[in-house]
Amino acid sequence: MRPAIFQMSLDTLRRALSYPYEIPANSYVVNGKTHQELTPCAPMPDVSGRRPVLAVGSNQSPEQLIRKFNGSNLGPIPVIRARLKDFDIVYSPHVASYGSIPATLRHSPGTRVTLFVNWLTPEQVARMHETEIPTGNYHFGKLDGIELQLDFGPAMTSTYVYSSRRGSLTRDGFPVALAAVRAENRIWPSLSQEEIQNHARDITAPGQPLETFMRAAIEDVSARQDRTRALMSDGLRFNYPGFTPIKI
């Protein structure tokens, strides 16, 4: 039997490689430790008094939302599937504290990406800020001049989003899309989390076993920072003029 500390480390590695975690095929509502998918004929949940925030990475997954909000007693979160025209979801050139290489939004004319909108109360927005802003990897802002079609409700021309301050990770000069996220007319290559980790390893620690490489990122802040700097060296800034950062 493996020691508990080793098993815990394996669980941590699985979490890092599972990003962006399981994303449902339908809209859903998170409530406490559970989530309930909505049928196509269900009415739109009441979102009055809530702010629409695009979920572009793991915030699309009930697993991550439950992890972030469980025990907060902040009530249910409607999470509505949508399609966003002229954008794609790509990797950000930074390493998260839990070892994953996370996602960010990028302007991609002609592409239509499937994603979700988290409808958050002011208290839920404050909690989400606590999980996104302090690391310095993301800033919060408003996205205007867009075409966002929700499964429930009318199309939207503006919303809010967390955008990577680091921009977009590149490989051979191009952004890299998340293979786990569906998109029509995708113009860039897409990779899984394991594949993008291999790419980062080949750049920053050639020849190192992937498990060793990822353990270092999870356990060593300086290793994460060094790798983030290396990945940022040929990154691309967010290229959409309709994004306005909001000071938090």
> Mean pLDDT across the stretch 35-43?
92
> Mean pLDDT across the stretch 94-121?
98
- Please give the pLDDT value at position 23: 98
Within its chain, how far is the Cα of 89 from the centroid? 8
The domains of the chain are located at: 4-245
- The answer to whether 211 and 201 have CB atoms below 8 angstroms apart is no
> 3-26 pLDDT, tens per residue?
444 444 778 899 999 999 999 999
pLDDT at 193 over 90: yes
> 50-74 pLDDT, tens per residue?
999 999 999 999 999 999 998 888 9
Identify the architecture of domain 4-245 in CATH.
Roll (3.10)
How far the first Cα of the chain sits from its last, in Å, is 48
> 125-166 pLDDT, tens per residue?
999 999 999 999 999 999 999 999 999 888 999 999 999 999
- Please give the pLDDT value at position 2: 47
Provide the whole-model pTM.
0.94
Question: Three-state SS string across 77-113, please?
Answer: EEEEEEEEEEEEEEECCCCCCCCCCCEEEEEEEEEEE
> 143-154 pLDDT, tens per residue?
999 999 999 888
d(CA 31, CA 65): 10
pLDDT at 1 over 70: no
